[in-house]
Amino acid sequence: MRKWMIKIRENLKSNKGFTMVEMVVTIILTGILFTMACSMLLSWGKSYDKLKTIEHAEQLTDTLMDKISGEISGAQDRNIPDTTKGTENLDHVIISADNSEIELYDRTGSHIKISAVERTPGDAKTKELNIHYYEVKNMAGDENLYDAVDWKYSENMYMNYYVQELRFDTVKGKTGNLLPLVDVTLKVRNEKYQYTCTVTKTIECYNSPTISGPGKEDGTPDGPDNPDTPDGPDNPDTPDNPDNPDNPDNPDNPDNPDGPDNPDTPDEPEINREHGYIEIEDGKLKFFEGMPSFQDLKDIADSLKPPHDTELIQVPAGIYQDNNKYYLVTEDTVTDKYDCGSMGQIKNYKDNWNKVIELLNDKLVTEKNITTAGQFDTLIQKGTIYLYQEEYYICVEPSGGQPGIAPASNSNWVKVESRFISVSN
């Protein structure tokens, strides 16, 4: 290459022209450089298009999810009419059996249904967010004050994307009760670039309406976690099933060193060690953190970045340790991802003040310790574990008197479930 360039310079200085070989070589080199430049430009162009596609997807999902979240979070505690029976349901928010629709009264009192519908009938690739506003009738019910109408974004808003899936799910606590939460899964797709963006969000209904409908756990497909799957862990014939008598880990298996027939097997109290527990021995208390730990909750909060964004974090009942202090969460609850810097922040979130209680004392207080009102005031503090009439209570506010005084309606005391208590003789 260098020799050719020197030769070209010499020819330029002289009156000689270029030979045919030199011209061919120059054209070839120029073509190679031009091809390389075009390839780089095309590569940069594709990368730019991909980045813009991702950016458009995130913008679209954020806009759609904000609209959905705004409608669901403001759901009113108002019964939805059952048009098939001419009566009212007892539910305020209803999720359809296939999880594709949600029906409620929004914050303005309008009866609406949120779903994804096809702009062009029969073409699934034209699905878009649709909010159906039901008609509003007069008091007599024989005339429409407002006709039914469908609200949608413009087609240009979707930027060649369409809604591939819109799913709503109820959320259950550890005890099986439905929480005032709705899990929303939104999936949009661009066929041109074969790109799919999925966003999930847990939305809190701040008016605490009654919610009905299926959840994710109600429709588990075939898989290792499905009890009906032949090889599922809950199938009695599965070798890994702990209930299978042939499983070496089964306590009823005589070959298991921890089995009931083994004289060295210790007696284990039936407590919830998974979520932590309080050990009571000779009147002294020891606290053991469970799973998830408080650090796990913080890690979950820190990991929630767009587009996989969730505002609320579920906090299961159990024992948590934060800064060398222990806390008892008496029932399943939630907290905002921005209120997860400490257990104190979780306690101060909305209605958690009597659900998240700091365990202050390492000694159990019993009725025998209380002989006078003065002793009661001295020994009972916030977070004190008190044994009263063979039941364990934790003090939320010491001014509320003994827990035996209408304990079910006394918010100053919370009964500690037996699954969190381990008594050692």
3-state secondary structure at position 300 = helix
Give the Å distances, CA to CA, from 319 to 164, 326, 357, 387. Answer: 41, 7, 10, 19
Q: Across residues 86-107, what is the average pLDDT?
A: 83
All residues at 6 or more sequence positions from 46 whose CB lies less than 8 Å from its CB, including other chains: none
**8 A C-beta contact, residue 360 and residue 340:** no
Residue 309 has pLDDT above 90, yes or no: no
Whether the per-residue pLDDT at 29 is higher than 80: the answer is yes
Position with higher pLDDT, 75 vs 253: 75
User: Taking residues 323-338, what's their average pLDDT?
Assistant: 86
Who contacts 58 (Cβ-Cβ below 8 Å, separation ≥6)? Answer: 197, 306, 307
Indicate the pLDDT class of residue 59, thresholds 50, 70 and 90. confident
Two structure tokens written together for 244:
């299978």
290, pLDDT greater than 90? no
Rounded Cα distance, 129 and 134, in Å: 16
pTM over 0.75: no
Tokens of 225: 């976690």
Amino acid identity of 28? Answer: I
Q: How far apart are CA 187 and CA 195, in angstroms?
A: 11
* Helix residue spans in 334-372 (DSSP H): 343-347
Q: What whole-number distance in Å separates Cα of residue 36 and Cα of residue 30?
A: 10
> CB–CB of 317/174 below 8 Å?
yes
CB atoms within 10 A of CB 416: 19
Instruction: Report how far residue 213's alpha carbon sits from residue 98's, in angstroms, rounded to the nearest whole number.
Output: 9
Report for 145-154, 216-225, 226-235, 257-266: range of highest mean pLDDT: 145-154
Give which of 249, 235, 346 is closest to 294, Cα–Cα: 346
Give 318's strand partners: 329
Phi-psi region of 159 (alpha: psi -120 to 50; beta: other; left: phi over 0): left
CB 163 within 8 A of CB 157: no
